Amino acid sequence: MPVSLAVVAGARPNFMKVAPLLNALSASDVLEPFLIHTGQHFDHNMSGQFFRDLGLPDPDFHLGAGGGTHAQQTAEIIRRIEPVFEERRPRGVIVVGDVNSTVAAALVAAKMGIAVIHAEAGLRSFDRTMPEEINRMVTDSISDVLLVTEESGRENLLREGHAPGRIHMVGNLMIDSLRCHLPKARASSALADLGVAAEKFGLITLHRPANVDDERQLAEIVGALRIISQTVPLLWPVHPRTRARLANIAVPDTIRILDPLGYVEFLALQAASFVVLTDSGGVQEETTVLGVPCLTLRENTERPATIACGTNRLAGTGKASILQAWRDMLAEPKRGGMPPLWDGEARFRCRAVLEKYFSIC
């Protein structure tokens, strides 16, 4: 009888990782996955469009647990996912990334005696003011199988005392999605539709609360972006939480505000960008594979491979540090390289690990 596995996703970064994994697991003779969408990102542009772009099937369960504070959202996901686990009794629950859906599903599964599999385990920013860092640490601490994207993740888990036999270096599922959809993105009309097909431009993404919830901090970042945009015009697909914060901040015409984009559209822009300025972990990884210069608007990163191997630079969050990173990038562009196992085959390595794990459990 096939092994039933619940695959849990809720926020936009999860979908890019879940899509290739679900595809590979569905082709297994011994594993039988089903998809739970927690509804953490409930806006159509943040969720529905990504499902279509990535070829994801409709979820078997949609919990509709969006909105609220971190505590409220996590609690609501816990409340709504427990009956699903009771009904379906999966032998394993696969969680990805570091969002509230990740830690909520992992907690319920662990308390019910269901094996927890964490994809993208071991990443650490060493900054506990980040909610994502707490989610990562808690999830890893109760996981039975730890699927790792880069060497730093393996080292962090070993240092924290995790058994080596639970740690599996599999590569990066997000890069599986990128490599699969990049030809479609390059062939799309996204650049022409936005009128930038013949232009040099930069791309901005900002969503982390530390950057966008404090108006003074956001104004500091926009001050640096304003100067950069005098050299290279910038496109900014604006996350809903960020748009509300920009109401009292003057954004120049050289920074073009866009509605949120679908996955393929955004990938097309990334691939054609002169530079990407971001606070997103996933975008740091994608730009590394694309060979596009990336300035990360944070003081730290949980993805050091993007700096050691890739095209990423930490730019900080102050106007002066961002502009210094910009000048450094112009003076000495990073050529970058590919982190090990970021080859578009991570889903198959994940499947092999899980088939072996459940064959001996």
Catalytic residues: 207
- Give dist(CA 315, CA 297) in Å, integer: 5
Cα gap 244→213, rounded to integer Å:
9
Alpha-carbon distance values, 191 to 21, 200, 275 (Å): 29, 11, 15
- What is the C-alpha separation between 88 and 186, in angstroms, rounded? 41
Q: From CA 122, how far away is CA 124, in angstroms rounded?
A: 6
Single out the residue of 178, 46, 144, 54 nearest to residue 99, CA to CA. 46
- Residues 143/166, Cβ–Cβ less than 8 Å: yes
Task: Count Cβ atoms below 10 Å from residue 253 Cβ, excluding itself.
Answer: 7
* Residue partners of 90: CB distance under 8 A and separation at least 6: 4, 5, 6, 34, 114
**AA letter at 92:** G
DSSP per residue, 290-319 = HT--EEE-SS--S-THHHHTSSEEE--SSH
